[in-house]
Structure 1
Amino acid sequence: MTLQGEHMYLRALEPSDLDFLYQLENDESIWEVSNTTTPYSKFILKQYLENAHRDIYEVKQLRLAICLKSTETVIGFIDLFDFEPKHKRVGLGIVIASKEERGKGYAAEAIQLTCKYAFTHLNVHQLYANITSDNKKSIHLFEKLGFQKSGEKKDWIFSEGRFKNELLYQLIHE
């Protein structure tokens, strides 16, 4: 199965994800990567979950929960966004919520599963990721998985009182 890995599986969002989603979306330490500037209410997130079943071809995005097989625990989310079927491309973003779960290979496995899904079921030609130039761990992760740096947007992200460059990474399916 495309969304089953050795240590994890990816699944659609469930109503039971509300508390985890609320905690993650209101974690100011990741607002920079999610382009968030204000907190989300549980009411708004509940509405989001109620509409999460909508087709990626309609809403141009898909969020999947990253679940550990051993414990059935949700440890993060992986997003496909700005889906462009005509141009056969989609953006990819990932967050592993707990610092204790980072660095264990879970993000790499989730990205590989998502790329396989996108190439197989969405028939995309490429996936891309936007990464700030100071996010060395993400740069290393995406490069290790075959993504190539193809551009740099100068002073693209304003965060914590300063501008940061954003790098564009692409994985093109040959």
Structure 2
Amino acid sequence: MIKNLLNGSKIELAAFKDADLTYLEKWYNDIYFLRNFDMIPAFPRSSQELNFTLKNLRESNDKFMFSINSIENGKIIGITGFENILWNNGTATIYIGIGDKNYIGCGIGNEALHLTLEFGFEELNLHKIQLTVLSYNKPAIRLYEKSGFKKEGTYREFIYRDGTRYDMYLYGILRSEWEATIK
């Protein structure tokens, strides 16, 4: 039997649609979301700027982006995907962001991460998936470690926010390590 890699019990991963751009624009104007999702300065982005970014993503062969949709109501609640895919090495960088605050802390991130990892390892046939996370994002660090990611390094005092320097951690998970977590 062929499993549906993109469906979980609470969410499904789907193609990012133009109608979803409204939500992405809202999240890219939410400083809290941006400071946990990205390393660049948290400045607001217009739908026009984001549309250009999405166009480049869709034309790329080393990036994938999914919307995270609630199965209950079909609403987009976040984004996940891969970037910097090196096909010859079987490696990629994963990202995940829950933009709808009503869905934070209820297992959505865990399920979205699991589905994205499953897609990466089983459909894209990746060998290693990596990520970066800022040291102040404790909930994300707990999620990654619980999912089997191993801390591989630290960029010390990498980012400056609100008068304080924070480290950026590098995490990775090998296909064999991921397979051990799902048995």
Same fold? TM cut 0.5: yes
Counterpart mapping for 1:129-140 below 5 A: 129-140=131-142
Matched, 1:19 2:37: no
Deviations 1:114-133 (A, max 9, x none): 11101112111111121112
Give the equivalent residue in structure 2 for 1:98. 100
Counterpart mapping for 1:15-164 below 5 A: 15-32=18-35, 33-37=37-41, 38-55=43-60, 58=61, 60-164=62-166
Amino acid across the alignment from 1:29: Y
Amino acid across the alignment from 2:147: L
Amino acid across the alignment from 1:2: L
- Report the more deviating stretch, 131-140 or 28-37: 28-37
Give the equivalent residue in structure 2 for 1:2. 5
The alignment partner of 1:87 has SS state of coil
CA–CA separation in structure 2 for the residues paired with 1:87 and 1:43: 34
Contact 1:18 1:49 in 2 (8 A): no
CA–CA separation in structure 1 for the residues paired with 2:152 and 2:114: 20
- In structure 1, stretches of 5+ residues that fail to align are none
TM-score (norm 2): 0.86
Name the count of aligned residue pairs: 171
Q: 1:40 offset after TM fit, Å?
A: 1.6
CA–CA separation in structure 1 for the residues paired with 2:167 and 2:154: 7
The alignment partner of 2:106 has SS state of coil
Deviations 1:12-55 (A, max 9, x none): 11010111011111212233331232322222223334454335
Amino acid across the alignment from 1:132: L
The alignment partner of 1:154 has SS state of strand
Contact 2:33 2:99 in 1 (8 A): no
CA–CA separation in structure 1 for the residues paired with 2:28 and 2:65: 13
CA–CA separation in structure 1 for the residues paired with 2:140 and 2:81: 15
